[in-house]
Amino acid sequence: MNKLAQKYLRPSQIPTKACHGCGIGMIENWLLQAIDELGLKQEDVVFGTGIGCVGRQTFATWGGDNFGATHGRALAVATGLKIAQPDKKYLVVVGDGDAAAIGTSHLIHAARRNLGVTVVCEDNMGYESTGGQFSPTTPAGYVTNSSPYGMVEPSFDPCDVVKAAGATFVAETTATQWHQTIKIVKKALQNDGFSFVHVRFPCNENFGAYALGTRDTLKNLEWIWEHTQGRTADGKPTDFTWETGIKHDASNSRPEFSKILRDLVRKAGGTPASAALDRVEGVVVDD
């Protein structure tokens, strides 16, 4: 086990429940590196997840405080926690179903309010833990378990949606860009507001098997890399390209949601709730 996993994760949950060659572990390793480079401890970070492959791994492995919400509702739970304990960092690690399908409205409204959490959307382009059905982020035309003649709907880009909704930090990377992902997650964690990081990773067991026709781990990761670069290994252009990098950076430009609420409660005048919130902040209220 590497040193960061020993420092931050639960040893009883390693090896993880992920399939072989699944990219969730890589991304979690890079999240640990970003947390470690920022000097954060286990008790400073709260991990939140929803349901699915991503929820199953990250909820079980993080050694500090964490929560597992119902499908798509991780941000609703995170909103309450952020208001109650605003001095912690919230890392809400959700899959594409949680972020872009059932939880889209929670995502949009958390971005609109500028809630101070970092959402890492780990996207394997389908509902892979339930057998490989298509999701809104499945590329158009690709065969999945529930679209045997090819996905008929166009693909959905959650980055554009949260940017339009008012998120202050939006970025996209893939599971082949480790240094870029670590830098982006560090910037996202330093933003006192809503940060959204969209990371695509390979699924061998379902998306790879149905859409790409192979369970070869190397070919699946290579496919992700080719669509990041825009050309295949033999030099031909790919059918589409993901534009990665920071898409929108207005870090710390807007007041954060829980801070607005606390200011409002204080202005409304000394209720028990505001006194409790001030105790959390460490501010003494003179009655």
Partner 1 sequence: MPLFKPEKKQIAQNAGKWDVVISEDMCKACGFCLQICPVDVFAWRRTANRLGWFPMYVAHEANCIGCMLCYQICPDFCINVAPKAEAEPAVAS
d(CA 190, CA 38): 9
Minimum CB distance to partner 1 smaller for 114 or for 180? 180
CB distance 89 to 42 below 8 Å: no
Q: Which is nearer to partner 1, 235 or 272 (CB)?
A: 235
Q: How far is the CB of 1 from partner 1 (least distance, A)?
A: 5
Residues found near partner 1 in the complex (CB under 8 A): 1-5, 9, 14-16, 18-26, 29-30, 176, 178, 217-218, 221-222, 225, 229, 233
Distance CA 66, CA 92 (A): 9
Smallest CA-to-CA distance from 24 within 167, 121, 142, 91 is with: 121
Q: Which of 195, 198, 194 is nearest to 113 (CA)?
A: 194
Q: Which is nearer to partner 1, 15 or 269 (CB)?
A: 15
Q: What is the spatial distance between Cα 29 and Cα 31, in angstroms, rounded to a whole number?
A: 5
Minimal distance, residue 90 CB to partner 1, in Å: 23
For the chain, give me the number of helices (H) and strands (E)?
11, 7
Q: How far is the CB of 4 from partner 1 (least distance, A)?
A: 8
Query: Which residue number, 143 or 182, has a Cβ lying nearer to partner 1?
Result: 182
Specify the residue, 23 or 158, whose C-beta has the smaller distance to partner 1.
Answer: 23
Least separation in angstroms between CB 246 and partner 1: 20
State the minimum distance, in angstroms, from the CB of residue 55 to partner 1: 17
Shortest reach from residue 226's CB to partner 1, in Å: 8
21 vs 95 by CB, closer to partner 1: 21
Total count of residues recorded for the chain: 287
Positive or negative: CA dihedral 38, 168, 25, 85:
positive
> What is the spatial distance between Cα 224 and Cα 243, in angstroms, rounded to a whole number?
12
Coil, helix or strand for 230?
A: coil
Contact 173, 181 (CB under 8 A): yes
